[in-house]
Each structure stands twice: as structure tokens, then as C-alpha cells.
Amino acid sequence: MATIEVLNDGPLKVTGVKQFLNSRGVAIAIEDTAFLCRCGASANKPFCDGSHKKTEFKSECGKPASPAATSQQAGESRIDIRKNGPLGVTGVPDLVCAKAPADAARYSLCRCGLSQNKPFCDGAHKNSAFSDDKN
């Protein structure tokens, strides 16, 4: 079962996601567990390089949420990196330490660090200097 855990003041811990694609649709190889940047400062985007400690990124995850019910089948878990934008998540209903989104089968997670609705994207990247030209 794929899960995404929102770590306090740090990255997203992603486990068991089957597909991870850059903005051009090219697969990115990841281990069974990967740590994805959500502060926006990593030099190794989309992966965390510890920059959140230097930038003093703050985002409490709150109480763990109950896994949301979904009709997604095993093997359909996928994360799409959107060009200079959020992570598009499909088929990962278990979002640990965040309130489950209304549609737990599909949602967008902030990776610029500016959203007022962390861990979810609120579009703040559009009015910022956030970029990830590599992906």
C-alpha cells in the first residue's frame, strides 16, 4: 500500500508509490521509500537535501489522519511532478499526518514551501520565484 507521510517541518516521506514521473512524463527511479522536498529550497529537487533546516521551513503536520476510503486498486499509485508547480498525486489515499482531502484518490501537494494550506497546494508557486527546470 502506498503512503505519503508529512513530516513536521520537513519533507514528504513517500513509500510504495509505483510510478513517479517528471513534468515531461519521463519516469524517475525511486527506492521503495523516498523523501521529497516541500520547502522549495532543495538543490536536488524533487528530492529533499536537508535545505529545510537552513531555511527554517515550518509546517506542523498535526494529528495523524485516518486513511481515506478509495476504490483505487493496488499498483495505480502515481506522483506527477508538475512543471514549476506541485506534486500531482493519484491513488495514494493514505496521507499520514494531514487531513485527508475530499477526493483522496487525487490531490496536489505543495513543493514550493509557500502554500497557506500545507501540505496541499494553494497556487502560491504561481506568484513566486519557485522553479524546477530539471524536472
If DSSP codes are grouped into helix, strand and coil, which group holds residue 127?
helix
- The per-residue pLDDT for range 32-55, each reduced to its tens digit, is 999 999 999 999 999 999 999 999
Q: What is each CA distance from 64 to 49, 73, 123, in whole angstroms?
A: 25, 23, 24
Q: Domain 1-126 belongs to what topology?
A: Ribosomal Protein L9; domain 1 (3.40.5)
Number of Cβ within a 10 Å radius of residue 9: 14
Q: How far apart are CA 116 and CA 120, in angstroms?
A: 8
* Beta strand residue intervals within 11-77, DSSP E: 12-15, 19-21, 33-36
- The per-residue pLDDT for range 2-35, each reduced to its tens digit, is 999 999 999 999 999 989 999 999 999 988 999 9
Percentage of the chain lying above the pLDDT 90 cut: 69
